[in-house]
C-alpha cells in the first residue's frame, strides 16, 4: 500500500530497552516494505540511537546490515568507576559517524530525543543541537555510562523519565503515533549480571509509564523479546526479525487508522 496525498502525518515512538532495541530496526524495515511513511520519530535511550541513525539518512537497509555485524566490545572504553564504568566517548564517535556529524534540525525528518537531568530529575527533550551529543546523553544508563555533560546539564538515560516517547512524537505533529516497546510485559524476567539488574530496575520503575504510553499510542507494538537479555548484544538478527514480524502482524490496524483519518477529513 503506497500512501501519497491526503494522508495523516505518521509518527514513530521508540522505547528504551538496551540491546532489545535492535527490534526497532525490524519495525522500521517492515514499515518501509509496506509503504507506510515515517514523518516524525521520537526515541528514548536505545530508541534514540535507532531514531537518530535512521533520521540521518533513512537508509534502513544499511542500518540493518551494520547492526547484524555490530561488535559492542569495539566501542566500549572502560575506566575506573566513579560515576559509571564506561566513558562513552567511543560510542559518541560512532554515533557522530552514523549521523554524519549533523545537528538534529539537519536530519531528514523531525526527531525528538529524550534524556534526563540527573540533578533536577527533569525530562529533557532535544529537537535541535548536535545529534551525537543528544543521543549519547540519552543512552547514559545510570551506573554503566558516565553521565553526559551537555548544554550546561548533567544528563542520564532518557528511559529514567520516559520509556516510550509517545507524547514527544505527538508534539512533532504526528496525527497517528505507532509506539514500539521492546520491554517484555512478562514480569518474571531473569537477570544474569549487574547490567541486567540495572536495566531491569529501570524497567520496573517505568511499568506505569509504559501502561500510560500504550494507551496514548494509536498503535502499540510489543515484540516478544523475553528470551533475550537487554545487555547481551547477540542474536541481533533475531531481535530485528521479531520487530519486523510484529509490525507485519499489525499492519492492517495501521491501514484502518489511516483510512479512518482520511474519512474524517472528507466529512
Going by C-alpha positions, the residue among 209, 210, 125, 133 that lies closest to residue 170 is 125
In the beta sheet, which residues pair with residue 255? Answer: none
Q: With the C-alpha atoms ordered 179, 245, 224, 15, is the resulting torsion angle positive or negative? A: negative
Q: Rounded to an integer, what distance in angstroms lies between the CA atom of residue 162 and that of residue 212?
A: 11
The catalytically annotated residue of 45, 140, 213, 229 is: 45
The catalytically annotated residue of 137, 157, 183, 229 is: 157
Confirm whether 252 is a catalytic residue: no
In the beta sheet, which residues pair with residue 145? Answer: 86
Confirm whether 230 is a catalytic residue: no
How many CB atoms neighbour CB 188 within 10 A? 6
| Residue with grid cell 545487555, as numbered in its chain | 231
Q: With the C-alpha atoms ordered 22, 24, 26, 29, is the resulting torsion angle positive or negative? A: negative
Catalytic residues: 45, 157
Amino acid at each position: 500500500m503506497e500512501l501519497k496525498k491526503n494522508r495523516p502525518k505518521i509518527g514513530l515512538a521508540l522505547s528504551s530497552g538496551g540491546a532489545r532495541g535492535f527490534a526497532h530496526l525490524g519495525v522500521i524495515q517492515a514499515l518501509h516494505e509496506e509503504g507506510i511513511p515515517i514523518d516524525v520519530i521520537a526515541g528514548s535511550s536505545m530508541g534514540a540511537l535507532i531514531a537518530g541513525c535512521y533520521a540521518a539518512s533513512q537508509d534502513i537497509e544499511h542500518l540493518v546490515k551494520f547492526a547484524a555485524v555490530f561488535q559492542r566490545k569495539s566501542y566500549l572504553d572502560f575506566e575506573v568507576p566513579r560515576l559509571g564504568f564506561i566513558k562513552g566517548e567511543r560510542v559518541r564517535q560512532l554515533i557522530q559517524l552514523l549521523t554524519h556529524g549533523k545537528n538534529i534540525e539537519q536530519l531528514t525528518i523531525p526527531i525528538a530525543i529524550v534524556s534526563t537531568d540527573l540533578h533536577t530529575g527533569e525530562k529533557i527533550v532535544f529537537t535541535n543541537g548536535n545529534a551525537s551529543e543528544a543521543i549519547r546523553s540519552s543512552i547514559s544508563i545510570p551506573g554503566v555510562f558516565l553521565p553526559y555533560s551537555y548544554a550546561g546539564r548533567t544528563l542520564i538515560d532518557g528511559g529514567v523519565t520516559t520509556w516510550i516517547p509517545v507524547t514527544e512524537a505527538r508534539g512533532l505533529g504526528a496525527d497517528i503515533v505507532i509506539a514500539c516497546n521492546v520491554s517484555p510485559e512478562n514480569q518474571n524476567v531473569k537477570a544474569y549480571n549487574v547490567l541486567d539488574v540495572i536495566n531491569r530496575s529501570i524497567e520496573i520503575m517505568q511499568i506505569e509509564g509504559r501502561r500510560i504510553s500504550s494507551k496514548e499510542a494509536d498503535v502499540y507494538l510489543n515484540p516478544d523479546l523475553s528470551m533475550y537479555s537487554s545487555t547481551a548484544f547477540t542474536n541481533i538478527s533475531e531481535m530485528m526479525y521479531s520487530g519486523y514480524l510484529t509490525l507485519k502482524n499489525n499492519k492492517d490496524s495501521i491501514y484502518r487508522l489511516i483510512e479512518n483519518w482520511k474519512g474524517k477529513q472528507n466529512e
